[in-house]
Amino acid sequence: MLMGLIWTAMIVVSVLFGCLNGTAGEVQQAALEGAQAAIELCIVIGGAVCLWCAVMELMSASGLAEALSHALRPILRRLFPESARHEAVLQPLSANVSANLLGLGNAATPMGIRAAQEMARLAPPGEASNELCRLVVLNTASIQLLPTTVAAIRAAEGAVSPFDILPAVWISSAVSVAVGLAAACAMERRP
């Protein structure tokens, strides 16, 4: 709600300033061009999301997603020792991390929500467990092997090689996950 008010205020002030400054025509032109660019970007990102969701479905049908999920289980059991004992948590959790590794944040979200719901069932009512907080940090700062959404945006903007940012993405996402998990562990409630 607050963000909506902030955006509304910015738009109103911009339009008023444009009218008072004598550049209302330019404000109108910029609004139309911005709307067109937003629609084009949504189409490009939507196409990329559809493509990578289809790739994820193919991986799932071929058993590759399950293999990736099993490969992640030892790591997830160390990060989430209590929750990982329950298959109802471990399955959506590993699917969520797998999707995030492939840069499919939109596909990962429902699985992350399901894992969080299952973790919340294991915690006392109305209280976020340390592991649930760790899951939120891991999802927010996720390590991406293939940043597909960013690559789609770069391709839409005319990048010759949209994936040439991979080393920077790997380094920055690894650092953000390490710092985030270290901060989450430092702030954990001790029993």
Q: What is the pLDDT of residue 165?
A: 92
Residue 114 lies in a domain: yes
Residue 191 binned pLDDT confidence (cut-offs 50, 70, 90):
low
Q: Of 32, 37, 41, 34, give the one whose Cα is nearest residue 156.
A: 41
Distance CA 84, CA 129 (A): 13
Indicate whether 112 belongs to any domain. yes
Gap between the Cα atoms of 59 and 122, Å rounded: 30
Tokens of 113: 């929500």
What per-residue confidence (pLDDT) applies to 127? 82
pLDDT tens digits, residue range 90-137? 888 888 888 888 777 777 888 888 889 989 988 888 888 889 999 999
pLDDT in tens, 79-98: 898 888 887 888 888 888 88
| Mean pLDDT, the chain, integer | 86
- Rounded to an integer, what distance in angstroms lies between the CA atom of residue 103 and that of residue 100? 5
Rg (CA), the chain: 21
Give pLDDT, residue 12. 92
Number of domains making up the chain: 1
Phi then psi dihedrals of residue 24, to 5 deg: -60, -35
Instruction: Please check whether residue 18 lies inside any domain of the structure.
Output: no
**Is 19 part of a structural domain of the chain?**
no
CB crowding 64-100: b at 16 or more within 10 Å, else e: ebeebbeebeeebeebbeebbeeeebbbbbbbbbbbb
Residue keyed to tokens 């997830």 = 76
Provide the residue range defining the domain that includes 47.
25-186
Measured in degrees and rounded to the nearest 5, phi and psi for residue 165 equal: -90, 5
